[in-house]
Structure formats: structure tokens, C-alpha cells
Chain A
Amino acid sequence: MSFLPCLWAFCACVPFGAVMNLHGKTLIFASVGGGIGWVFYLLSSPVHSDIMQYFIATIAISIYAEIMARVFKMPVTGFLLVALLPMVPGGGIYYTMEYCVIGNNSMFIETGLHTLGIAGALAMGILLVSSIVRLWTMIATENKKA
């Protein structure tokens, strides 16, 4: 298993974050999140389902983003937007279109649904982590009041 793609993911996130006007340390740490996500994707390959792999990687990225947002006292969105970019199924969208163009309908449906599944996995991963974090902060503030 080669971990080189993790490095490429990190490198790709840096200019992408720069376009969105992230600067300095935040930019670097947000991009590291992209690399970390792919490390978790590769590490979870024993589950033999790439939708599950995407789900696990997204959870890892979301947790990382929540931690970094607290360390740097910045909105979570910035870290999340940049770090999740390598997870977005660009390849899926492309291959779906290609099967559609060459008229291979069964592959078109299959790839299309698979791509939707990946997007769903991303969404679920984000949902899970940010819901838990919200609940946790709620409980923490309640306890502080009591």
C-alpha cells in the first residue's frame, strides 16, 4: 500500500485553501487534514467497502477539524471545507457522465448510485461528528450553569 496519495492530497489542499483566503498556519493545518483523511481511508481498507472507508475518513477529518478550530479559535467550516476536498467524488461524477455519454446504461446507473452513496457517506460523517460535538457543548454549558 502506498501512502504517496496522502502527500498529493495535502499538496492539492494548499492552493485550494489559498484561493479561499486561508493564511499561514491555518492553511497548513487545514491541508494536513486532507492528508490525514486519506491516511484513514487507506488504513481502513480491510473493511472492503469504499463507502465505509469514505465514512471513516470523513469522521477522522471532522474530529480533526473540530479540534483545530478550538486550538486556533476559528470557525470549523474553514478546516472542514479544505480538508474534505480530496474526499469529494470528482472521479465518480466524471465516470458517471462518461458511461452516460457512451450509452452504457447499467454502468451509468451503478456508478451514479455509487457516487451518491459516497456523497451520502461524507454527509453522514459530518452529521455524526458535529451533532455529537453540539450535544457535548450543550451538556458542558448546562453543567457549568448548575
Chain B
Amino acid sequence: MNYDDLITLTTDVGCLLLANGAEIYRVEESMQRIFRAYGVETGEIFAIPTCINVTITTPTGKPVTLIRRIPVRGTNLDKVERGNDLCRRICHDRPDFRAVRRELAQIERRPVYGLLFQILAFAMVAFFFTLFYGGDFTDAYWAMFCGAVIKIVCHNMNRFHANSFFVNIVASFAAAALAMLAAQFNFALDTDKVIIGALMNLVPGIAITSFMRDLIAGDLMAGLIRFTESMLVATAIAIGAGIALTMTRMIWGV
């Protein structure tokens, strides 16, 4: 067996899971299982949200190591599900590497929603959360635009690889500024509800959920990284909205 191929392939599977938002223990366990399926009992895997380190020892006693950085992470639960499924099938049938590669490429090519759909989805999230937090339909209507603005800003800034802290500040600023602007034309508007509804799109729910799950599973490093991440996002949202509030108050003296 070609152990270089094995380690590269397994890391690709792990990378697919990690980059699309799977928990650390799932990534490590999946990779371990694949190694076992191909008869390597010595897989040492260490994964954190930004990097996977893995070493296996071949039966002749030669260690093989691979380090893979993960520069871009997102949340695509469809790909996590498929990756998980693929992993289960690898362990069960032990297909040859070329078949696995084909499957991996297929998963990578799975369709994602277009930009327009995503903008619409962000708008709907903002709409319903404004209602959820007790706003009326006028507020919700304005929140839709704020939600759409958030996605447009995020998309355009991510194209130029701006850091996520800055992206969150600008997106939250844009949403809050739009809400305050709307309030100037419609005095019955409850700006608090509109802004909160729109900002629910940015709130670090994912990070809060997964940092705890990582900590319980004993992945302390990963847990701390995600905890820091959620704190940074929350701070960025507050800074952005704060700037917008202060500025509009200065301009209009509300």
C-alpha cells in the first residue's frame, strides 16, 4: 500500500469536514477510522479549527507526517453530511483511493445557493427576527433591507479577503446606519428592534454552540480558539452598531 497516498487522502477528507464546520472530535475520529480501515493503527491526529497535523507509522516503522492549514472556513452542513457519509462508506467497503478521490471531487462540486438567494435569505432572517423580538410589520419590513445590506457588504468585502473582524464591523455599521436613516423618514420606527433583527445574521451563534461542544470533547485548544472567535465577533458587531448610533446622533442630534 502507498502510505503517502493514504495520508494525503485521509487529510483531504478531514479537511473537507473541518473547513465546512464539523466539530473537531468528528474530524479526528473520522480520520482515525479511515486509517484503521486501511490497516494503520498508529494514526496520531491533532486538529484545531485552522490546521490539521497527522502522523502515521508504516509497518516498516517509518513515520509519515502531514500538516495542512485551513485558510478559509465556512459552514456548509450539506458537505459535512456528505463527508460523514463518505467516511462511513470508506470504513465499511474500503474502496480504492481513486474511487474515494472521485467522490471527494463530487462533494466539492455540490451546488451552493447563489448570491441572490443568500441575500434574500438574510433579508428573511432579519424580517422574522424583528417580529420575534416584538417589532411590528413596518419594523420588519425595514429590517429586511438591513439584512440584505449585511450580506451584500460581507460578500463584497470577503471577495478582497478582508479580515473577518473588520468585515463584521463594517456590516454591522451599514445595517445600523440604514436603520437609523430609515428612522429619519418614518418616526414610528422602533430602531432597536430593526437593528437587533438584522444583526442576528451576524451573531456568533455557531461559535458559541461549537466552542462548548469542542471543550466537552476535550479539545481545549479548539474550544479556546472558537471562544475567542465568538468574543471577537460580538465585539465587532457592538463596535459597528455603536459607531453608527453615535454618528447619527451627532448628525441629527436625536
Contact = CB atoms under 8 A, between A and B. Distances in A.
Contact of B79 (A17, A21, A96, A119): A21
Interface in B205-243: 205-206, 208-213, 215-216, 234, 237-239, 241-242
B242 A119 contact: no
Nearest to B23: A77
Contacts of A139: none
B209 A21 contact: no
Nearest to A85: B205
A126 B77 contact: no
The bracket for how many chain B residues form the interface is: 35 or more
A86 to B, nearest CB: 6
Contact of B208 (A8, A98, A122): A122
Contact of B128 (A12, A19, A20, A122): A12
Contacts of A94: 192, 195-196, 199, 237-238, 241
A90 interface: yes
Contacts of B127: 12
Pick the 6 closest A-B CB pairs, nearest first: A12-B128, A97-B238, A15-B121, A21-B78, A8-B132, A15-B124
A39 B191 CA distance: 26
A101 to B, nearest CB: 5
Contacts of B122: 15, 19
Tell me what chain A mostly uses at the interface: helix, strand, loop, or mixed.
Answer: helix
A91 B133 contact: yes
Contacts of B84: 74-75
Contacts of A85: 200, 203, 205
B80 A78 contact: yes
B186 interface: no
A81 B205 contact: yes
B213 A100 contact: no
A85 B206 CA distance: 8
Interface string B116-133: 011011101101110111
Contacts of A9: 128, 132
A8 B128 contact: yes
A70 to B, nearest CB: 14
Given A15-B120, A93-B199, A130-B216, 8 more contacts: A5-B134, A12-B128, A15-B124, A81-B75, A90-B129, A90-B133, A94-B237, A101-B246
B245 A98 contact: yes
B208 A123 contact: yes
B56 interface: no
Interface string A53-90: 00000000000000000000011011011001111101
B21 interface: yes
B187 interface: no
B4 interface: no
A5 B84 CA distance: 34
Contacts of B133: 90-91
B238 A100 contact: yes
B78 A126 contact: no
Contact of A12 (B75, B200, B215, B241): B200
B132 A88 contact: no
Contacts of B117: 18
A123 B212 contact: yes
Contacts of B238: 93-94, 96-97, 100
B252 interface: no
B68 interface: no
Given A12-B128, A77-B22, A93 B203 contact: yes
